[in-house]
Amino acid sequence: MFICICQAVTDSTIRRAVSEGVTDFHDLSYKTGCGTQCGSCINLAREVIDEALADSAALGATTPLQVVASP
Ligand code: FES
């Protein structure tokens, strides 16, 4: 489902961005352009980000920055 028509950003795109480390709308906008034209998608995009973050937390997912180095 398209969340941002202007930049062709879908809910799947947002969920993928969250899985790659996006944690807020600012990050999403920088990465995808979501919300950079008319802005009518911003609230819905934030809802999708929050849902994706909650899903990740429920699954115990780690962020891409949580890499453990071995000696
Ligand atoms: S619908 Fe996202 S900027 Fe217009």
How far apart are the CA of 35 and the centre of ligand 1, in A? 5
Q: Which domain holds residue 12?
A: 2-59
Q: What is the CATH number of the domain that holds 12?
A: 1.10.10.1100
Residues in the ligand 1 pocket, defined by CB under 6 Å? 4-7, 34-41
45 occurs within a structural domain: yes
Yes or no: say if 41 and 2 are a contact pair by the CB < 8 Å rule.
Answer: no
Number of domains in the chain: 1
Tens digit of pLDDT for each residue in 13-63? 999 999 999 999 999 999 999 999 999 999 999 999 999 999 988 887 655
Predicted pLDDT at 60? 77
In a domain, 64, yes or no: no
In a domain, 67, yes or no: no
Q: What are phi and psi of 65, to 5 degrees?
A: -85, -10
Tell how strand 2-4 and strand 9-10 pair up.
Answer: antiparallel
Report yes or no on 26 lying in a domain.
yes
> Is 68 a member of any domain?
no
- Res 5: pLDDT: 98
Contact between 41 and 3 (Cβ < 8 Å): yes
Whole-prediction pTM:
0.82
What confidence score (pLDDT) does residue 57 get? Answer: 86
